[in-house]
Amino acid sequence: MSFGPFLGGKRICLGKTFAENIAKCMIPVIVNKLSFEFVNPEHYQKKPQLGFSSVVPTVMVKVSETK
């Protein structure tokens, strides 16, 4: 545990908790300034099917700045 700076114990990184808390506060602020829309207009009408197979559906999203 002496070389694991982000793991735990008495040598834990002090910035780890600070960075986690700042991320929880700043990510919603950043996402609120963005606008999301589907590239494929079919996705507005119908959700992609999620099944028990290992194939994950691809959903493309265009991101732009909110004015």
Task: Give 24-58 pLDDT, tens digit per residue.
Answer: 999 999 889 999 898 988 888 887 676 676 777 78
Higher pLDDT, 55 or 60: 60
Res. 2: pLDDT tops 80: no
Higher pLDDT, 13 or 5: 13
Residue 24's H or E segment, with its range, is: helix 14-32
* CA dihedral sign of residues 12, 13, 16, 17: positive
